[in-house]
Structure 1
Amino acid sequence: MSGKPVLHYANIRGRMEPIRWLLAAAGVEFEERILKTKDDLQKLRTDGFLLFQQVPMVEIDGMKLVQTRAILNYIAGKYNLYGKDLKERALIDMYVEGLADLNELILHHEFKPANEMEKDLANILDKATNRYLPVFEKVLKDHGHDFLVGNKLSKADVHLLENILWLEELKPDVLAKFPLLQSFKARMSNMPNIKKFLQPGSPKKPIVQEKDVPAVLAIFS
């Protein structure tokens, strides 16, 4: 093995996408072992690599880590994206947990039945624009710096940008009422490592197309 982290997941965003984002923001190259069938997932289970029988699983530093938040925390700590002290880490965790709640809504959207899509999208946008985005607009205003915590990039910033861009795929003008978040998005998107990740051909995954949903669901069923 090359020494690069190895990511085991299906070829979709899902719960692995925040991990891809964080590694990319840290400038860390990684490899992917794409699960294409249910048998691929079952082999990982049979081989004893999945502590709780679930992916994502990331091989890094001689470990086979599972559970998304544990993986993200390890990467953030390893690559200095987790604040300078306990107080900053508490703020980062608080913001990230809020973003995880928003992300949970978004990532399930592409798998909703067609007759529920419109209602589900309305719910996502309502919560995004009335509950979550106003919080981060206020944090940026009150904090007065380019980043959410301290004056240095953290995993909270990376997760916020990921969710903003995903929301904009669902509704391009979602940031219309949030000028500080618009500026934040522009700044973050131009950071060299992130800019590279946003280019075509990067490991960043697209939204799942309707025609591909059955094959994806079959892997995890």
Structure 2
Amino acid sequence: MSEKVVLHYFNGRGKMESIRWLLAAAGVEFEEVFMTKREHYVKLLDDGALMFQQVPLVEIDGMQLVQSRAIMNYIAGKYNLYGKDLKERALIDMYTEGTSDLMDIIIMYYFTSENKQKQLSNIEQKAKERFLPVFEKGLANSDFLVGNQLSRADVHLLEATLMLQEIFPTILSTFPKIQAFQERMKALPRISKFLQPGSARKPPTDEVYVKTVKEVFSHIFK
């Protein structure tokens, strides 16, 4: 197994994008192997690389890690992005789960054909009423969501809010603390590098990506 970190996923965001963000924030270089055909997925299954028959799959430190939360927990713990103690870790986990819930509803928007406008309205309402106020309050008296240093919670929040702005450009207009937070985060050298053209950051989901995912996972999308 390669000593380098290797990511196995599609050439798109999905569940792997938050892992890419976290590795970038930690300054870890990685390689990517993209699944473009069902045969690629079947080979991973046949090789016994997918514990629960699911991707993302990350090869790191001689392990084949699956389940996105487990992968990010490992990366955050290894690279000092998980707080200074168990209490901070619990807070980080709560914020992280919140951003994950928000990003999940955005991701699913691209994979369902039901009333698109209704879905967009639902995403916007939940973001404004359920999620963003929590993060705005969390940043009221600190540059970071938890403690006095960068954590995975901050990285995930930046990713989530940038995703929101791609769909709703003015959604942060009433959340000045989050706006200021974004600017601070974007100024961090590792984050700035990841935001530049040509980085491993993936563009918004498009029809080609959706089609590829549905073809590879044809047993799910019947």
- TM-score in terms of structure 1 length: 0.96
Partner of 2:91: 91
Which letter does structure 1 place at the counterpart of 2:180?
Answer: S
* Structure 1 unmatched ranges of 5 or more: none
Q: Is this contact kept in 1: 2:7–2:32, CA < 8 A?
A: yes
Q: CA deviation at 1:169?
A: 0.3
Counterpart of 2:74 in structure 1 is: 74
Distance 1:46 1:67 in 2: 18
Partner of 1:125: 124
Find the counterpart in structure 2 of residue 208 from structure 1: 205
2:120 maps to a residue whose letter is L
Whichever residue aligns with residue 91 of structure 1, its letter is L
Give the alignment of 1:42-191 within 5 angstroms.
42-113=42-113, 116-141=115-140, 144-191=141-188
Contact 1:25-1:158 at 8 Å conserved across structures: yes
Identity of aligned residues (%): 61
Deviates more, 1:115-124 or 1:48-57: 115-124
2:5 corresponds to which residue? 5
Amino acid corresponding to residue 215 of structure 2 in structure 1: A
1:7 is displaced (CA, Å) by 0.3
- Aligned residue for 1:77, secondary structure, equals helix
CA distance in 2, matches of 1:26, 1:216: 28
1:97 and 1:12 map into 2 onto residues whose CA distance is: 21
Q: Distance in 1 between matches of 2:166 and 2:90?
A: 30
The answer on whether the counterparts of 2:8 and 2:33 sit within 8 Å (CA) in structure 1 is yes
Once residues 183 and 3 of structure 1 are traced to their aligned partners in structure 2, the CA distance between those partners, rounded to angstroms, is: 38
1:182 Cα deviation from its structure 2 partner:
0.3
Question: Would the aligned equivalents of 2:3 and 2:62 in 1 still touch at CA under 8 Å?
Answer: no
> TM-score under structure 2 normalisation?
0.95
What's the offset of the Cα at 1:211?
A: 4.5
The code of the aligned residue for 1:162 comes to E
2:20 aligned residue: 20
Question: Which stretches in structure 2 are left out of the alignment for 5+ residues?
Answer: none
User: What's the CA shift for 1:9?
Assistant: 0.3
In structure 1, what is the Cα distance between the partners aligned to 2:90 and 2:186? 25
Deviation at 1:210, TM superposition (A): 2.5
RMSD of Structure 2 on Structure 1 (CA): 1.1
In structure 2, give the amino acid aligned to 1:9.
Y
Aligned counterparts of 2:147 and 2:58: Cα–Cα separation in 1? 29
Q: Which one-letter code corresponds to 1:216 in the other structure?
A: V
* Secondary structure at 1:16 match in 2: helix
Runs of 4+ in 1 over 6 A off after TM superposition: none
**Retained in 1: the 8 A contact 2:102–2:127?**
yes
Number of residue-to-residue matches in the alignment: 218
1 CA distance for matches of 2:193 and 2:52?
A: 33
Instruction: After superposing the two structures, state which structure 1 stretch, 115-124 or 98-107, moved more.
Output: 115-124
Which residue of structure 2 lines up, in the alignment, with residue 29 of structure 1?
A: 29
- Please tell me whether the aligned partners of residues 6 and 58 of structure 1 are also in contact (alpha carbons under 8 angstroms): yes
How far does residue 216 in structure 1 lie from its aligned partner after superposition? 2.4
> Is contact 1:110-1:207 (8 Å) kept?
no
Q: Which amino acid is 1:150 matched to?
A: G
Q: C-alpha offsets along residues 123-153 of structure 1, whole Å, 9 cap, x if unaligned?
A: 1111001100000001111xx1111011100
C-alpha separation in 2, matches of 1:216 and 1:85: 39
CA offsets, 1:81-106, max 9 Å, x none? 00000110010011111111111101
